[in-house]
Amino acid sequence: MRALIVSDIHSNLEALQGVLGDANRRGGFDMVWCLGDVVGYGPDPGPCIELLRQQDLVCVVGNHDYAAIGKIGVEEFNTYAAQAARWTAAQLCKDQVDFLGSLPEVERKGNFTLVHGSLRDPVWEYLVGQYAAVDTFGRLETPYCLVGHSHIPLLCTEMGSVAAFGPFVEDEAVKLGRQRMIINPGGVGQPRDGDPRPSYVLYDSDSGTITRHRVTYDIAITQEKMRRVGLPDYLIQRLSHGR
Ligand code: ZN
């Protein structure tokens, strides 16, 4: 079984199409595991939901998905994110709102637990440091935990009572072993690690490996769409920088 692991698509249809195409060229996948924030920031919330729903999909909910359907208030967001969330909410049909509303906060798939933020705080906590990682290992009931939210690729191994952060090198297969791991595939629709290319992971259950890949897409098309619907310039610009 091969799973395509994606997170933080953020209404960026061109980025999502790029990832699906690239993953297909690399041997394809049987399922898509999505770690939340399907919508928010970008210009194509509805089309991204529809394209995802065409896949054999397991998806958990993110803070931007909740904001788009009014389950959390936008006052907790910064100005740009709030503006985008209000615009997003107005674009969704009832069926799409129901879809986002039906997503669980935590889901299990075999050896993996899927969550947007962390197991302590599924939609809000950024799992980027020792404290959050150790806490999530403490709550984790499967060997591996897949997280998103930070838009930054991450590989973190449990070493006794500490969490060891290592590099998650592009295009290099990582063998999953006995040590438990927290894995962030990086962001699809708005990368924040200084590289504007969408980042994703392919899991292969036969070889027991995960491999992270990046793909290029025509950022200018997405930016032009954002301009046309009046999304904040700050959000348009940051797609070029991956920050
Ligand atoms: Zn996000």
Please give the distance, rounded to the nearest whole angstrom, from the Cα atom of residue 73 to the centre of ligand 1. Answer: 16
Please give the distance, rounded to the nearest whole angstrom, from the Cα atom of residue 9 to the centre of ligand 1. Answer: 8
The mean pLDDT values, 10 residues at a time, for the chain of 243 residues are 98 98 98 98 98 98 97 90 95 98 98 98 95 97 98 96 94 96 98 97 98 98 98 97 94
Alpha carbon 83 to chain centroid, angstroms: 21
Instruction: Please compute, for residue 239, the number of CA atoms within 13 A of its CA located in the half-sphere on the CB side.
Output: 29
Residue type, 5: I
Please give the distance, rounded to the nearest whole angstrom, from the Cα atom of residue 149 to the centre of ligand 1. Answer: 5
Q: How much is the pLDDT for 235?
A: 97
Cα(34)–Cα(204) distance, rounded to whole angstroms? Answer: 16
Please give the distance, rounded to the nearest whole angstrom, from the Cα atom of residue 106 to the centre of ligand 1. Answer: 16
Structure tokens at 45: 């919330």
Supply angle C-alpha 119, 112, 139, rounded to 5: 30
> Which residues face 106 on adjacent strands?
115
Residue type, 8: D
Please give the distance, rounded to the nearest whole angstrom, from the Cα atom of residue 158 to the centre of ligand 1. Answer: 25
Q: How much is the pLDDT for 174?
A: 97
Cα(145)–Cα(31) distance, rounded to whole angstroms? Answer: 17
Are the beta carbons of 127 and 133 closer than 8 angstroms? yes
Please give the distance, rounded to the nearest whole angstrom, from the Cα atom of residue 101 to the centre of ligand 1. Answer: 17
Please give the distance, rounded to the nearest whole angstrom, from the Cα atom of residue 95 to the centre of ligand 1. Answer: 22
Cα(114)–Cα(230) distance, rounded to whole angstroms? Answer: 33
Please give the distance, rounded to the nearest whole angstrom, from the Cα atom of residue 206 to the centre of ligand 1. Answer: 30
Supply angle C-alpha 53, 9, 33, rounded to 5: 55
Structure tokens at 18: 């790029």
- For residue 60, CA distances in Å to 109, 149, 153, 222 come to 12, 11, 18, 25
Please give the distance, rounded to the nearest whole angstrom, from the Cα atom of residue 170 to the centre of ligand 1. Answer: 21
Please give the distance, rounded to the nearest whole angstrom, from the Cα atom of residue 159 to the centre of ligand 1. Answer: 28
Q: How much is the pLDDT for 175?
A: 97
**Which residues, by Cβ under 5 Å, contact ligand 1, an ion?**
8, 37
